[in-house]
Structure 1
């Protein structure tokens, strides 16, 4: 028996199916819900995922969708609320079960940054920043993270 006390919202979220819904003023705006949920996200039952894994997978999908709308001169960054930390250019992301999400990156002048956050305090603002290196291709961390999720699902299926 689980003695953990949950709010109604937490219990509802724990039972949620992997689905998305958005409304935008401009009907031409690409919406996250228009993209299929990768099998790596929807293939594992929610009750087998930690809060950190579940939050990580959903943020990855939002990162990828945000990057799809960027031009080749911009990359994704993360803004902070309630602090003067500025923004973090996202170059990596991970989770530590059961409840920690971490973002790796750099500030706009190149200083290394790492943001560690408990899933209960999760608050992510995605921002577009000019590329760090003028001649290089823009980094697309969201695409890389989705590919990693899909490769992990393929490897799990191959070993079962």
Structure 2
């Protein structure tokens, strides 16, 4: 009989199973910076499940969908389903997930770099006001420089 890693009813952030999964990923070279376990039970493909979301240092995310029996029935890597061969062996499954993360890291980082981030509607930028302010200062300095040059020219002429 296989020992289950997750206890469906007792799943919570910081529980023993979460810490074991985070340590396993760290041992494989992928550091988890944030983990979250959903409180609500979802249903898909005839399975009731809860989600454990792991965010890594390079901003990649892995969502583990855990069935009521305590095993993982689906893995989502960066919002895309990742097929796992070794579903019964958690260490081998984590190894597969890390390999998938490593294989797609460059593509993921390029997609992040291309993504345009717009500030929320409520936030206003001061760039237009700063431009007007700096233009006014520049014009005032030009006037001041011109008047000083005129005074120098008058002093030299006298």
Q: Fold conserved (TM > 0.5)? A: no
Write 1 or 2 for the structure with the bigger share of helix: 2
Higher relative contact order (CA 8 A, sep 6+): 1
User: Structure 1 length normalisation: TM-score?
Assistant: 0.30
Give the structure-2-normalised TM-score: 0.31
